[in-house]
Amino acid sequence: FAGSGGNWGQAGNISSPIASSAANFSNQFVQPSWRIALWSLAYGGVVAVAVFGNLIVIWIILAHKRMRTVTNYFLVNLAFSDASMAAFNTLINFIYALHNEWYFGEAYCRFHNFFPITAVFASIYSMTAIAVDRYIAIIDPLKPRLSATVTKVVIGSIWLLAFLLAFPQCLYSITRVMPGRTLCYVAWPGGLKQHFTYHVIVIVLVYCFPLLVMGITYTIVGITLWGGEIPGDTSDKYHEQLKAKRKVVKMMIVVVLTFAICWLPYHIYFIVTGIYQHLNRWKYIQQIYLGSFWLAMSSTMYNPIIYCCLNKRFRAGFKRAFRWCPFIEVSSYDELELKAARFHPTRQSSMYTVSRMESTTTVVFDPNDGDHSKSSRKKRAAARDTSVNGYSCRNSKTTSTASSFTNSPYTSIDEYS
């Protein structure tokens, strides 16, 4: 059975002691043709939807200037990781698990063992970066937002760390010719104990830790966005931004929960079979592996569907991509959704507005500014204590929360949509 002694992300990474005995009991995992056909359709459907769906997501973001926001650049990285995982790993791993035979050579064996951890690491930490960016934008809006250059550096750092984490998989990968078949697996120098320790570390780094970080950040953001409106601010612009922020956060929470649910059975499978090795010889273990692996790989196809359902601009982009279909109609409203945004300056008043990122700082000038008496200085001090919507700057928490929903004169609602 290809999944015996299973490695994280691969069916065929079998530790040497198990690999040498696998030939003795592989026949018990031969499946009837109808079951093979069903599994093939299930895995083929995942690959098709994941690859084409994520490529369309990448096109929607890169081909339309209005979609090029910090959040969406991380979504490009996420889509690329998912599409790559589906294209280069899912079907190959399915074939290996099904036939218990490695047909693809030693070089691809190394890549096959190395790349999935890299791709999943890039996916989950792209989601984490989005969560942190949303947290900063909503909870601490006075901090500068990530620039395009910094975003690229963060994405590059994510991939570098992913390569370092997955490197042992490439280093110790080997192919071994057995009587009548060839195996591809990771021959850990420390044996099964080292193999199990490494994969526990990987599970912590690519599942438990990032999900904990995102759980904390989205909980705080959710309480802020849905816990009640900011008193005194009932402008249409405020409600528009609040609604847009809620939509983005809701969409990302659905993405994260989908990832967590899809990968949980797979991680449980490898932990349990790593502790109880005899389960790898159980009659139905191959079906359990194929089911948990299919669910994990299916996480690569859900995100484009989520974007299309929960975001009007992505929905308009998918309509444009499939406009050749007779039942898809692209309306003028859909076309406008993807065009470059226009910025509308805020109305002028007697107050001087200084814009910085998403916050607006208001300074009120005293008409008696030329008077150098103590009373005028007290007036100016009182004026400086006055902030957005008449709230005191001394109450920093209230002001920070209020300013997070205040639009600067040249900040587009696209940043939150």
Quick check: 46 and 86 in contact, CB under 8 A?
yes
Rounded to the nearest 10 degrees, what angle do helices 209-226 and 105-139 cross at? 30
Instruction: Please indicate, yes or no, if residue 342 is contained in any of the structural domains.
Output: no
- Among the candidates 304, 321, 338, a domain finishes at 321
Tally the domains of the chain: 2
Query: In the prediction, which pLDDT does 382 show?
Result: 47
Instruction: Please indicate, yes or no, if residue 161 is contained in any of the structural domains.
Output: yes
Whether the CA torsion 296, 300, 243, 68 is positive or negative: it is positive
Kindly report the CATH number assigned to the domain that includes residue 224: 1.20.1070.10
Pairwise CA distance, residues 374 & 108, whole Å: 80
Instruction: Please indicate, yes or no, if residue 7 is contained in any of the structural domains.
Output: no
Please report how many Cα atoms fall inside a 13 Å half-sphere around the Cα of residue 310, on the Cβ side.
19
Residue 248, both tokens:
């983005």
Instruction: Please indicate, yes or no, if residue 326 is contained in any of the structural domains.
Output: no
Instruction: Please indicate, yes or no, if residue 212 is contained in any of the structural domains.
Output: yes
Could you tell me the pTM of the whole model? 0.74
367 and 299, same domain (yes or no) = no
216 and 356, same domain (yes or no) = no
253 and 359, same domain (yes or no) = no
Instruction: Please indicate, yes or no, if residue 328 is contained in any of the structural domains.
Output: no
- Among the candidates 272, 303, 321, a domain finishes at 321
Query: In the prediction, which pLDDT does 251 show?
Result: 92
Residue 148, both tokens:
């395009």
Query: In the prediction, which pLDDT does 361 show?
Result: 41
239 and 130, same domain (yes or no) = yes
- Which structural domain range is residue 290 located in? 16-321
Instruction: Please indicate, yes or no, if residue 336 is contained in any of the structural domains.
Output: no
272 and 132, same domain (yes or no) = yes
123 and 209, same domain (yes or no) = yes
299 and 369, same domain (yes or no) = no
314 and 370, same domain (yes or no) = no
- List the chain pLDDT tens, one digit each, 417 residues: 333 334 444 444 333 333 433 444 444 567 778 888 999 999 999 999 999 999 999 999 999 888 888 889 999 999 999 999 999 999 899 888 888 889 999 999 999 999 999 999 999 999 999 999 989 888 887 888 788 889 999 999 999 999 999 999 999 999 998 887 889 999 999 888 898 999 999 999 999 999 999 999 999 999 888 876 554 455 677 777 788 888 889 999 999 999 999 999 999 998 998 888 888 888 788 889 999 999 999 999 999 999 999 988 999 999 989 988 888 887 777 777 777 654 444 443 333 333 333 344 444 444 444 444 444 444 444 444 444 344 444 444 444 433 333 333 334 444 544
Whether the CA torsion 86, 91, 97, 102 is positive or negative: it is negative
75 and 163, same domain (yes or no) = yes
173 and 278, same domain (yes or no) = yes
Instruction: Please indicate, yes or no, if residue 338 is contained in any of the structural domains.
Output: no
- Among the candidates 321, 338, 364, a domain finishes at 321
Backbone angles phi, psi at 181, to 5 degrees: -160, 170
Helix (H, G, I), strand (E, B) or coil at 176: strand
